[in-house]
Amino acid sequence: MEIEFRVCPESVRQAKRIFVERGELPALPLATPILHSWKRCREHHVAAERLLPPEEGVVETLILEQARQSVEEWLRLARPVLEGVFGGFDTSRSVLIVADTQGLIVEAVGNSSFLERAQRVHLARGAIWHEGVRGTNAVGTAIAEGAPVEVLGPEHYLSCNEFLACTAAPIFDGTGRLVAVLDVSCDWHDHHPHTRALVDTAVRLIENHAIVARHRGLRIHLHRDAHALGSFVDDAIVCVDDDGRVVAANSAARRLFSLRHEELGAVPLERLFRRAAPVPRGDEPVLLYDPQGNPLYARFEGRRARVVIRRADPAPANDALAELDTGDEALRRVIAQARRVLDKDIPILLRGESGVGKELFAQALHRSSPRRDKPFVAVNCAALPEALIEAELFGYAPGAYTGARREGSLGRIREAHGGTLFLDEIGDMPLALQGRLLRVLETKEVVPLGGKPVRVEFALIAATHRDLPAEVEAGRFRADLYYRLAGLTLTLPPLRERSDLPVLVERILRACAPDRDLRLAPEVAAAFAAHSWPGNVRELAQALRVAAALVDEEEMVIGWEALPEGLAAALKQRTSMSPSLPQGQEETLELATLSRAAIERALVASRGNRTAAARRLGISRATLYRKLREMGSTPAQAAG
Ligand SMILES: Nc1ncnc2c1ncn2[C@@H]1O[C@H](COP(=O)(O)OP(=O)(O)OP(=O)(O)O)[C@@H](O)[C@H]1O
């Protein structure tokens, strides 16, 4: 494979020569760690023009054995990981290296023909690849930088190493202490562009396995994306002692929470989060918020500590957009785009099916913008009779027409002066009015009926569920107005495409019943996940509001009986058609037909505790009692 150089190898060689001779930094776009390393090498008078490798820095067997023992635990953890990660990778022309914290190679495995070539430059067991000895190289530079590094061909400081392409990443323990370095080296003609990703993955896995093996207390696995949580390799992991202090964290977690090495062992867990469930139940992911208010999904593993994380608002004040971020990637991208134009006077056009939350999004945009203290004025262009829209929008002078208020009316546009005007269902605005609105947007003046022009200034957000370009094509919407409105078009995803349904459900339930810890029964949650939600978040919010009102006072779990009738029927129909439900839910679905066997099984599994059995079945305790009565059965062991 032809190597992919950041710049042409010959230019790198020349630039290096000039740098070594005169200390002039090259104008080439070389990676920063390479430039840093060249500077260190020059300062330490490392001889670059060596055609033969330095003979110093090769240790005796005894020292090598000691070094090996110091990383033995890590080698043991690394072996299965390396087999797994590099198993399908063509390692026939490369060497896999593990070095200690001084760059001493303690393990080098690979194909014998390349090992021989590597041996000639001492890229082998017992040799030290510290920068001070061998100049810029992946192992030594990764140690110096404390970060993964790729060193390709002539980026190596010593001429004799220019035939190599090396990719290395430091391995840290859970306290952020460097413990070893993993490296893959080959002839640079054989370099594979995926090597870096493989080395990174292997190191993350080794670090994560080590943290799990070493810390037996409470571990919290975290991820921004609910679906990715549990992938293990990408999880941020924090370990907590019985006093609720964070004692270890993997690299991802240290980055996520900006945790410094010296803070581990001292930081209370609650400093990492703005809100959390005080006592996590079972293995379900829990929604937490980082200190910036961004959502994080968490799974609690290992021994449960008496950890209580204080409750706080999920998002900082003034960041209403962050509140809408419940973990869906598409929505998160839309929020990020919106943020970029918040204070830029660019009109925003929101698109999306009915009920996806366009108005809520527009309000959040306003509340996150510098105009948050000024009015937010919403006008539904579809709901107003055509004859009234004009007066409603543009206002009228006193006595402008019969039946009008004597004192006149400002009109919605002028009410929005200094703030935000939200034109909902703009696609339904009559053609005649579109011209007048366009004029206001162009001249920044409103002419009230029977009055004089008045200057106005506002941020504009329009929304529609219609395909406006198609409406323009069909002649129902003015092209010039469309281009005026669509400074930035943002499309909100329909609920069926969102990956954050469980979080949304939790949020809405918390808003409906802040004092209760309401949640969906597992089979209801599964049916929700399978439902297509034609009414989008509106339909979901409505269903949950009804459910929160109907569910028994002492009940925490929302079962079928608390759902609006039409929705429950639609969900059940859909679920019964569903070919594969997750294991463990058959029991609860059988209960939909209220089979005696399902109830009995749940009672046995709950050791006769009816409250637990009802929860298992996803019904209220009252319903379970009713069913038992109908079955004419009150099993003797039933209690609770
Ligand atoms: N993220 C959310 N969290 C809680 N409730 C939401 C969320 N998004 C929308 N809703 C609720 O859904 C309903 C519909 O929201 P909204 O009116 O913003 O949707 P819309 O896209 O503007 O609908 P339409 O196109 O029909 O005007 C509202 O009751 C709102 O409270």
| Same domain? 387 vs 479 | yes
For the chain, give the longest Cα–Cα distance: 105
Cα-to-centroid distance, 556 and ligand 1 (Å): 25
Locate the DSSP E strands across 411-451: 420-424, 445-446
| Same domain? 514 vs 607 | yes
Terminal Cα distance for the chain, rounded: 69
User: Which DSSP string do the residues of 621-639 spell out, in sequence order?
Assistant: HHHHHHHHHHTT---TT-B
**Best residue among 331, 538, 539, 544 to mutate for probing ligand 1, ranked by most atoms within 8 Å of CB:** 538
| Same domain? 473 vs 501 | no
Question: Of the residues 142, 168, 201, which one is the last residue of a structural domain?
Answer: 201
H helix or E strand, kind and range, residue 404: none
- Domain range for 175 is 9-201
Cα-to-centroid distance, 356 and ligand 1 (Å): 6
Please report the pLDDT score of residue 626 as a whole number. Answer: 64
Question: Of the residues 433, 459, 491, which one is the last residue of a structural domain?
Answer: 491
Cα-to-centroid distance, 380 and ligand 1 (Å): 14
d(C-alpha 220, C-alpha 241), whole Å: 11
10-residue mean pLDDT series, the chain (640 residues): 64 92 85 94 89 79 89 88 74 86 92 84 94 95 96 94 95 92 92 87 91 86 79 87 87 90 81 60 69 78 55 54 85 92 90 93 93 90 76 80 68 92 92 89 89 92 94 94 95 92 88 84 86 91 90 85 85 56 37 51 64 65 66 43
Cα-to-centroid distance, 545 and ligand 1 (Å): 13
Q: Is residue 286 a part of any domain in this protein?
A: yes
From the list 68, 109, 118, 113, the residue with the least C-alpha distance to 89 is 109
Q: Is residue 277 a part of any domain in this protein?
A: yes
Cα-to-centroid distance, 535 and ligand 1 (Å): 10
CATH number for the domain harbouring residue 288: 3.30.450
| Same domain? 163 vs 234 | no
**Best residue among 287, 349, 351, 359 to mutate for probing ligand 1, ranked by most atoms within 8 Å of CB:** 359
Cα-to-centroid distance, 7 and ligand 1 (Å): 51
Q: Is residue 206 a part of any domain in this protein?
A: no
> Is residue 539 exposed (0-12), middle (13-18) or buried (19+ Cβ within 10 Å)?
middle
3-state secondary structure of 329: helix
CATH number for the domain harbouring residue 75: 3.30.450.40
Residues with CB under 6 A from ligand 1: 324, 352, 354-360, 424, 463, 465, 507-508, 537-538, 541
Instruction: Classify each residue of 106-143 as buried b or exposed e, where b means 16 or more C-beta atoms within 10 Å of its C-beta.
Output: bbbebeeebeeebbebbbbbbbbbbbbbbbbbbbbbbb
Residue nearest to atom 24 of ligand 1 (CA): 354
| Same domain? 47 vs 26 | yes
From the list 304, 14, 333, the residue with the least C-alpha distance to 159 is 14
Cα-to-centroid distance, 544 and ligand 1 (Å): 13
| Same domain? 172 vs 269 | no
CATH number for the domain harbouring residue 520: 1.10.8.60
d(C-alpha 576, C-alpha 568), whole Å: 12
d(C-alpha 127, C-alpha 19), whole Å: 27
Residue nearest to atom 26 of ligand 1 (CA): 354
Q: Which residues neighbour 37 within 8 Å (Cβ) at sequence distance 6 or greater?
A: 131, 135, 136, 140, 141, 144, 145, 157
Q: Is residue 195 a part of any domain in this protein?
A: yes
Cα-to-centroid distance, 493 and ligand 1 (Å): 12
Residue nearest to atom 9 of ligand 1 (CA): 357
| Same domain? 222 vs 195 | no
Please report the pLDDT score of residue 390 as a whole number. Answer: 80
Tell which atom from ligand 1 comes closest to the C-alpha of 361. 18
Please report the pLDDT score of residue 580 as a whole number. Answer: 38
Cα-to-centroid distance, 359 and ligand 1 (Å): 6
Please report the pLDDT score of residue 606 as a whole number. Answer: 62
Residue nearest to atom 25 of ligand 1 (CA): 354
What ipTM does this complex have? 0.97
The angle subtended at Cα 306 by Cα 300 and Cα 311, nearest 5°, is 75
Query: Tokens in use for 103?
Result: 């760059």
Do 194 and 150 meet the contact criterion of CB atoms below 8 Å apart?
no
In three-state form (DSSP H/G/I as H, E/B as E, the rest C), the secondary structure along 156-188 is CCCHHHCCEEEEEEEEECCCCCEEEEEEEEEEH
Q: Is residue 315 a part of any domain in this protein?
A: no
| Same domain? 249 vs 176 | no
**Best residue among 428, 537, 540, 542 to mutate for probing ligand 1, ranked by most atoms within 8 Å of CB:** 537
d(C-alpha 217, C-alpha 228), whole Å: 23
Q: Is residue 637 a part of any domain in this protein?
A: no
CATH number for the domain harbouring residue 406: 3.40.50.300
Q: Is residue 183 a part of any domain in this protein?
A: yes
| Same domain? 76 vs 97 | yes
Please report the pLDDT score of residue 406 as a whole number. Answer: 63
| Same domain? 190 vs 233 | no
Tell which atom from ligand 1 comes closest to the C-alpha of 511. 4
| Same domain? 365 vs 465 | yes
Q: How many domains does the chain have?
A: 4
**Best residue among 287, 351, 360, 466 to mutate for probing ligand 1, ranked by most atoms within 8 Å of CB:** 360
d(C-alpha 2, C-alpha 17), whole Å: 24
DSSP 268: B
Q: Is residue 143 a part of any domain in this protein?
A: yes
Cα-to-centroid distance, 284 and ligand 1 (Å): 27
| Same domain? 355 vs 258 | no
Question: Of the residues 141, 171, 201, which one is the last residue of a structural domain?
Answer: 201
